[in-house]
Structure 1
Amino acid sequence: MVRVRFAPSPTGYIHIGNTRIALFNWLFAMQNNGQFVLRYDDTDIERSRQNYVDGIAEDLQWLGIKPAEVHYQSKRFARYDAVAEELKAAGLLYPCYETPEELELRRKIRLSRKLPPVYGREALKLTVQEKQAFEAEGRKPHWRFLLPNFAENPFATKRTDVQWDDLVRGRQTIDLASMSDPVLIRADGTYLYTLPSVIDDVDMKISHIIRGDDHVTNTGVQIAIFAALKARIPIFGHINLLTTSSGEGLSKRTGALSIRSLREGGYEPMAVSSLAALIGTSENVSACPTMAELSQHFSLDAVSKSAAKFDPVDLLNLNRHLVHDMAFAAVAARLKVLGIDSVQAEPFWLAVHGNLEKVIDAAPWWHVVRDETLDFADLCADDKDFLRQAATLLPVEPWNHDTWQQWIAALKTVTERKGKALFKPFRVALTGRTSGPELADLLPLMGKALVEKRLAV
């Protein structure tokens, strides 16, 4: 069975870039009748927050992503410790006592000798007495994973290619000899991302790992760890990263394009999902009303190799298309929250939705057709005289969609006005705007008394 995972760190609210990773995994699972696993990478106890955990869950639910399972890395430390001890016993995880300053000095020395700045495995040469001396100084070791890039002598590395067929990037090759042995456990005993991630992927039977292409190099290391644990290696797919329209990277710390801010800004979840999933691919970016339809347009084969730029202008265009196609039943509950709740709610929606960019934009128009305190009389003297004359020719109620044409026909018999000179004063006096929904649709909602009041300028 296809099992994918999304592993956010709850150190901030997820942004559109994080969400794109989640969407790719969710849509891939949908296409393959698979399962989506949500795994919180909350091993950073200092920075992880429950409100961010709750916020991520809320954002995913709003988007329509429904995890089959939810896991927390903070609850699995005993498992990580057990595997770490196994690796230590096998000689694959070894202690290192260098300070950051000592490591930087060694790096500079290697560079001055025109050597690659990789760790020289000096810690493997330490005697028991030397280790005890470091411990006596108060030094605590960090632990590195011994990469399998040598035959017998770990100080005589040789080219060791790790290869995989990437779902997005095709055949990939990483030379382990070009890399330093990665630190898996810090000196304070906390884990870096790499080891817990591999252990979780093994235990949770993750079949496919779809993530950003900034992890390509990491994949070589992780495949080596999978092999060390004698575990099945998942299939990898690395997608292009998402940036802002100006090319800047996205950050949870800055809150740039967070899902929470987009939701609070009135955007539709499917507008966000459609743009995030289709931008940076060869597929046409269009507003898909459902995840099922979006999955029909989604393909990992279509992903570009270059970064994708997320432009809020594009998002607004997609949002507009979705709102224009929304039936009243789909928005009735949301309109009620906005205070739009009467027998006129449905005809009102049908009258205005074709002019909205967001559902929340309906609220001001509701005030336009209902609020008797609004005054839009910002007209010249000639227009005011014209409107007073027009008020005397208003048809009797009840009004319907034909009332506007009946009124205009009566006016044309007594005035020489036509075109913009005829219609603009009405729109400004009745709505306070120079454009918007058809007045033929708004008049029955406003009623004769309100129309007469606004024409009495």
Structure 2
Amino acid sequence: MTTTRFAPSPTGYIHVGNLRTALMNYLIARKAGGTFILRIDDTDPERSKEEYVDAIKQDMEWLGLHWDRIERQSDRLDRYAEAADKLRDMGRFYEAFETPTELDLKRKKQLNMGKPPVYDRAALNLSDAEKEALRAERGNGVWRFKLDHERIEWNDGILGGISIDASSVSDPVLIRGDGQVLYTIASVVDDTEMGVTDVVRGSDHVTNTATQIQIIEALGGTCPRFAHHSLLTGPQGEALSKRLGTLALRDLREQGVQPMALLSLMARLGSSDPVELRSDMAELIDGFDIGRFGAAPTKFDVQDLFPLTAKHLQSLPLADVADAVAEAGVPADLAEPFWAMARENITTLADLKGWWELCRDGAEPLIADEDRDFIAEAIALLPEGPFDGETWGKWTSAVKEATGRKGKGLFMPLRKALTGMERGPEMAALLPLLQVIRAKA
């Protein structure tokens, strides 16, 4: 069975970069009728916060990315300790004591000599007595996985054939000196024991994947199928990493972005398929193909979400937005005609309030000097309410006959006088909703 996972760290809010990873893994699982796991990577007790765990769940539920089960890495520390012991027994795990300053000096020396800045494995030459002395002086060291210096190869679901020389990579630190288990080994143990078959993540993890493949093999596991999606950039190709804090999903939600607009964009962005608004999750699942995504950096512009949001809202019946219409202050008996009028003229649901205020309070008339006499004559011809869907047509016909005006010269001054705007909803739909006609005063 196909099994995928999304493994966020609860150290902040999910942003669009995280969403890309979550969505791809979700769609792969759902298309195959498999299992999607939400795995909370909370092995860092200082930075992990329960409020972020709750926020991750809320964001996922808002988007409709429902998980089949949830796991927490903090509940599995004993499993990681067993894996570490196994690697020690195999001679693939060793303790190293260099300080960050010492490592930095080593890297600089290697670079000056034209060599790759790879850990030199000096710790392997330490005697037991030397290790004890270093522990007494510096405390416990970090634990590094000893890579086999051979080529690590796999067929990536997006990047194609990948081949990395393990000798060009430092032996990865899997456990810190304070005992904290790092993602590299925790993820391997989880993926193996949870039967994860497919892993999609950012292209910045390619080297990490190479080392994890060796760890998986050392522990006797089966490697999942890996795919590494391109990283997002800003609309001008600029690095997005510094802006991700302002692109949290909860911020987009606050701005009125609709889930299906966001999902429709992220499910196609960076692929050879055009971005098209989908009506529901089933359409997204059916049309998803990881092989259609490319390796080039992918431009993301938050402004692209708003036309998609507007288009999505236009497709919705009143029942789907009834709460928002009510919150805007629209009386229940006017909700249906109000939504029919407003839906084509909003970008987000927050815009409903302004349209209701126009209907309820009227607008400051926008009347050109040369149109004042015309507007006065037209308003005098306006019948007493209540108005209906035919009032606008009958009224403008009467005004046309009385004044001789027609076309834009007839309709535009009337619209501006009644709404204070040059464009907007069909006046036949808006006029019955106007509670106050200020131009009449």
TM-score by length of 1: 0.92
What pairs with 1:88-237 in structure 2 (closer than 5 Å)? 88-149=88-149, 160-237=150-227
Specify the alignment match of 1:302 in structure 2: 292
Contact persistence 1:12–1:253 (CA under 8 A): no
Partner of 1:420: 408
Deviations 1:308-327 (A, max 9, x none): 11112321121121122222
User: How big is each residue's C-alpha offset from its partner over 1:353-386, in whole Å with a ceiling of 9 and x where there is no partner?
Assistant: 1122122212211111122xx4413434443332
What is the distance in 1 between the residues matched to 2:40 and 2:161?
30
Partner of 1:22: 22
Which amino acid letter does the alignment assign opposite residue 255 of structure 2?
Answer: G
Q: Is the contact between residue 42 and residue 48 of structure 2 (CA under 8 Å) also seen in structure 1? A: yes
Question: Hey, what does 1:442 align to over in structure 2?
Answer: 430
Is 1:8 aligned with 2:18? no
Q: Does 1:405 align with 2:397?
A: no
Aligned ranges 1:376-391 → 2 under 5 Å: 376-391=364-379
Question: Which piece of structure 1 moves more, 105-114 or 220-229?
Answer: 105-114
**CA offsets per residue over residues 264-309 of structure 1, 9 Å max, x none?**
1111100001111111111010111211111222211110110111
Aligned-partner Cα distance in 1 for 2:133–2:399:
101
CA RMSD of aligned residues (A): 1.8
The 1:402–1:106 alpha-carbon spacing in structure 2 relative to 1, beyond 3 Å, is same
Return 342-351 or 397-406, whichever deviates more: 397-406
**Correspondence list, 1:82-93, <5 A:** 82-93=82-93
Q: Tell me, yes or no, if the aligned pair for 2:271 and 2:294 is still in contact at 8 Å.
A: yes
- 43-52 vs 101-110, which moves further: 101-110
Whole-angstrom CA distance in 2 between matches of 1:349 and 1:318? 18
Instruction: Please tell me the residue identity of whatever aligns with 2:408.
Output: K
Give the secondary-structure state (helix, strand or coil) at the position aligned to 1:94: strand
Determine helix, strand or coil for the equivalent of 1:278.
Answer: coil
Conserved in 2, the CA contact under 8 Å of 1:239 and 1:303?
yes
1:383 alignment partner AA:
D
How many angstroms does 1:208 deviate by? Answer: 0.7
Helix, strand or coil: the match of 1:137? Answer: helix
Contact 2:188–2:216 (Cα < 8 Å) also in 1 = yes
- Find the counterpart in structure 2 of residue 324 from structure 1: 314
Amino acid at match of 2:339: W
Q: Which moved more, 1:326-335 or 1:391-400?
A: 391-400
Deviation at 1:179, TM superposition (A): 1.2
Q: Any unmatched runs of 5+ in structure 1? A: 150-159
Which region of structure 1 is more displaced relative to structure 2, 27-36 or 69-78? 69-78
Query: How far has the Cα of 1:79 moved from its partner?
Result: 1.9
Change over 3 Å in CA distance of 1:10–1:209 after alignment to 2: same
Give unpaired runs (5+ residues) of structure 2. Answer: none
Q: Which amino acid aligns with 2:16?
A: I
Give 4+ residue runs of structure 1 displaced > 4 Å after superposition. 251-254
Task: Report the Cα offset of residue 262 of structure 1.
Answer: 0.8
Partner of 2:339: 349
Partner of 1:358: 348
User: Which whole-Å deviations, capped at 9, do the CAs of 1:238-277 have from their partners, x for residues lacking one?
Assistant: 1111222133344488522111011111111000011111
**Deviation per residue, 1:390-433 (Å, 9 max, x gap):** 22212354532221111011111221333333222322222221
| Preserved CA contact (<8 Å) 1:226 1:232 | yes
Q: Deviations over 1:88-107 (max 9, x none)?
A: 22221101111122222222
Instruction: Give, as a single letter, the amino acid of the residue that structure 2 aligns with 1:66.
Output: H
- Greater shift in the superposed pair: 307-316 or 374-383: 374-383
SS in 2 for 1:332: helix
Q: Which amino acid aligns with 2:168?
A: S
In the alignment, the residues of structure 1 paired with residue 226 and residue 180 of structure 2 have an alpha-carbon distance, to the nearest angstrom, of 26
Count matched residues: 441
Helix, strand or coil for the counterpart of 2:329? coil
Judging changes above 3 Å, is the alpha-carbon distance between structure 1 residues 88 and 252 closer, same or farther for their aligned structure 2 residues?
farther
Structure 1 position 350, deviation (Å): 0.9
Deviates more, 1:168-177 or 1:239-248: 239-248
**Paired position in structure 2 for 1:290:** 280
Deviates more, 1:101-110 or 1:227-236: 101-110
Give the match's secondary structure for 1:388: helix
Report the Cα offset of residue 29 of structure 1: 1.1
| Contact 1:276 1:310 (C-alpha < 8 Å) held by counterparts | no
The match for 1:156 is none
- Tell me the TM-score normalized by structure 2: 0.95
The one-letter amino acid paired with 1:405 is G
Structure 1 CA distance for aligned equivalents of residues 36 and 314 of structure 2:
32
Confirm or deny: 8 A CA contact 2:97 2:138 kept in the other structure: no
Deviation digits for residues 132-177 of structure 1 (CA, Å, limit 9, x no counterpart):
221222342111101122xxxxxxxxxx111112111222112112
- Which residue identity does 1:312 align to in structure 2? V
CA–CA distance in structure 1, aligned partners of residues 401 and 108 of structure 2: 91
